[in-house]
Structure 1
């Protein structure tokens, strides 16, 4: 009987996560449709308001995260090859970086542009338009359009945040963060236009700077997180808030084996999934191939995100992973 060719863990997402991914794809297409409509409407009432200009550019930038996500998911589940033995999950990290850089660059440009208008004391005029035979102040249309763009980004943001947590998708999380910036931008634009209406000429530029600062903050946050992951730093939770608890679970699972005296792990984020290098010190000073394979199978079954697991028998734990074990032990003793 021919033995099956071994593979490095899973190459496809489990059924539940595959369903979550499909739901994420649907909501991203819905987001793109909403953004296209919003971009057209805001452009039609843009006028000379710096806040509206910043909001319009922010809406254009909001296209980057969902587009990056949709491109990445077309690549992510490809089977590993000789040329790409780690698979293609890193495409998520690349998409994350692209989205972050786009946010930072345009946000920085908007800050400079808006600040120059504020320093030069520009008084942006907002004229009137004729609509259905009536002449109305364009500012009312600006504020009305921006008010219409508030509810859906709030819904999209909450929905995407839940999906990002389930899927461990940092691009989706960045997009959820961007949706939060979208509705805050709309509120800021309304305040800026209203300020012009009551004679506060500086309110428009101030609102634009507030919007741009939010964009830059999101850009810096996402660039930092994407670069950190691509540099194989210790795996973190989907929101980069703390080290991922799966590292401790891996160590605990391996240390529970009778033949293991000590264990440590290097866990790196490859996108939706993790690559784990588990260092084990055998009690007898040696270990059989069947014991290693059994341990590997147990770890792969531990969590769907453990796509690729390598066990390395050693006489002594490397310093880089030995410290993580002591951290795990101290956490359990608290």
Structure 2
């Protein structure tokens, strides 16, 4: 049976993902995350313009410019996904629009992967061709200034703010269980390496080591490609209904076990196992319960079982409780081996 979460006294004034009302902690985290993403977009736009104006023919600066441009995708995807997921379920979309988070994550990951691969090839070709990128002199206020100093100044300026933004976003991504926000925070925290690598490449040109520019570009490109591969793997896994995982996609979410344990605490339940899939911010849960022999659960007991699980966490909202004579192997692959040998590898 499927029931909606009860509305609070705040009613429509509370932030929601579909029909899922956010607790105070998640509501505040969402508001802060939105502010941080708008701040990130504003900072990146300034950085992109400055890098474009000074990058010249340096491969490292070119890679840094592309990375900054690509860094716009995750915050934009997050803001769009948040707006879409607030829409309520409809007859056409009975599960709501939570998958918008997964779509945004996939778009960002694909862009990172494609552009990272292209930059790796481009940087490699420049290194093999032994290209010597020139950095000329500029006249500023009557003084002759080496253009590389401007490049270094821009990259040094662009190194610190993303790291601070990434550190601020990371705990929010866990609180909101948001993969797009996590990917964005992860990229921001690593931006200082891009800045340092680019500065080293530019200094290499200045001292006559032309190859350091291409090597620095390869380092930056490899980082973009690595981020793309990691996020693409996580995004695709979630979209093809892998078992619900943590916000970073590394482990099975602990709620999967907690739901089963909570159901088995009920006096009329002998065994319980659930299929839990990540819809985006919230989970869709199908819980199969085997009643104690000779005990048929009442409608009220099924409702209470569901409410007990919903009370565990705000993400457990879209849930069905299905009484069954035995745990169905077809719906729960590997459950018999797990029960027989205590094997819990998939968890």
Does the alignment reach a TM-score above 0.5?
A: yes
Q: Does 1:119 align with 2:116?
A: no
Show the counterpart of 1:293: 303
Show the counterpart of 2:315: 305
Q: Measure the CA separation in 2 of the matches of 1:63 and 1:77.
A: 22
Show the counterpart of 2:225: 216
Q: Secondary structure at the match of 1:309?
A: strand
Contact 1:251 1:325 in 2 (8 A): no
Show the counterpart of 1:191: 200
Q: Secondary structure at the match of 1:23?
A: helix
Contact 1:235 1:267 in 2 (8 A): yes
Distance 1:291 1:60, change over 3 A: same
Structure 2 unaligned residues grouped into runs of 5+: 7-18
How many residue pairs end up in the alignment? 327
Q: Measure the CA separation in 2 of the matches of 1:196 and 1:262.
A: 68
CA offset at residue 326 of structure 1? 4.3
Structure 1 unaligned residues grouped into runs of 5+: none
Identify the match of residue 46 of structure 1 among 45, 55, 62: 55
Contact 2:58 2:202 in 1 (8 A): yes
Contact 2:285 2:320 in 1 (8 A): yes
Q: Measure the CA separation in 1 of the matches of 2:289 and 2:81.
A: 35
Q: Measure the CA separation in 1 of the matches of 2:4 and 2:132.
A: 66
Show the counterpart of 1:269: 278
Q: Secondary structure at the match of 2:289?
A: strand
Q: Measure the CA separation in 1 of the matches of 2:182 and 2:93.
A: 26
Identify the match of residue 43 of structure 2 among 8, 21, 34: 34
CA offset at residue 327 of structure 1? 10
Q: Deviations for 1:162-211, whole angstroms, at most 9, x for unmatched residues?
A: 11011110000000111123221111100100111111110000100110
Output the aligned Cα RMSD. 1.8
Contact 1:264 1:280 in 2 (8 A): yes
Q: Measure the CA separation in 2 of the matches of 1:260 and 1:52.
A: 63
Contact 1:276 1:306 in 2 (8 A): yes
Distance 1:274 1:325, change over 3 A: farther
Q: Which runs of 4+ in 1 moved over 4 A?
A: 323-331
Identify the match of residue 228 of structure 1 among 212, 218, 237: 237
What TM-score results when the alignment is normalised by the length of structure 1?
0.94
